[in-house]
């Protein structure tokens, strides 16, 4: 048994980067409305460590609005090539502006312009409308750096529980559950 779920995640994530051909940082993000209506979608992990697991989106997207109303979420990594999963449950906080700016600066220029052109999750009458807005952003930022849109933010899931699941023959899976307590992380096993 280990006592540091973040070290174990780092080891598994390194193996996933070597084994998974597409997006080893892809994770399912589950949110819910204040009434408990769930919603799930894939997002990309952009940072992780003892402080939590970070991704970026528009604050006015469905996920952003749900997280503002109910700042709790669950994440799921599924690495099929390794026959492993990691489940993370926790509270959510917004990252600081400097951290969001620093990450935004690493994105491709096209992705940066797309963030300005998109009203993420809002109804779109035609694809041509979005393409026109994208072209307008290309003109607007011509010859200059693209700054981060004010409502484009980062969220960090601060884990309370982290489960490491390993596939085993005959569905006799291995499940290790880390739970955060007042004294730090404790580890136990779950039945498959």
Tens digit of each residue's pLDDT (9 = 90 or more) over 95-125: 999 999 999 999 999 999 999 999 888 889 9
8 Å CB contact between 54 and 117: no
Give the count of alpha carbons within 13 A of 157, CB side only: 28
pLDDT tens readout for residues 35-64: 999 999 999 999 999 999 999 999 999 999
Neighbouring CB atoms inside 10 A of 144's CB total 7
**Global confidence as pTM:** 0.93
Pair type for strands 47-49 and 72-79: unpaired
Q: Show me where the domains of the chain are located.
A: 5-106+150-190
At 136-164, the pLDDT tens digits run 999 999 999 999 999 999 999 999 999 99
Whether the CB-CB separation of 89 and 55 falls below 8 Å is answered with no
- Residue 21: predicted pLDDT: 86
Q: How far is CA 89 from CA 125, 164, 185, in A?
A: 36, 12, 14
For domain 5-106+150-190, give the CATH superfamily: Electron Transport, Fmn-binding Protein; Chain A (2.30.110.10)
Catalytic residues, by residue number, are 171
């Amino acid at each position: 048994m280990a006592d540091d779920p973040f070290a174990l995640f780092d080891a598994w994530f390194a193996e996933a980067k070597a084994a998974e051909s597409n997006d080893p940082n892809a994770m399912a993000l589950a949110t819910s409305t204040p009434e408990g209506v769930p919603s799930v979608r894939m997002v990309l992990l952009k940072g992780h460590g003892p402080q939590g697991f970070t991704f970026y989106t528009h604050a006015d997207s469905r996920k952003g609005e749900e997280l503002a109303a109910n700042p709790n979420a669950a994440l799921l990594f599924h690495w099929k090539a390794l026959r492993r999963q990691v489940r993370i449950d926790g509270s959510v906080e917004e990252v600081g502006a400097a951290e969001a700016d620093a990450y935004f600066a690493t994105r491709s220029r096209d992705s940066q312009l797309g963030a300005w052109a998109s009203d993420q999750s809002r109804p779109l009458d035609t694809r041509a409308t979005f393409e026109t807005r994208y072209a307008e952003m290309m003109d607007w930022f011509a010859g200059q750096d693209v700054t981060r849109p004010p409502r484009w933010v980062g969220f960090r899931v601060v884990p309370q529980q982290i489960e490491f699941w390993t596939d085993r023959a005959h569905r006799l899976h291995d499940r290790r559950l880390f739970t955060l307590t007042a004294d730090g992380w404790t580890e136990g096993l779950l039945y498959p």
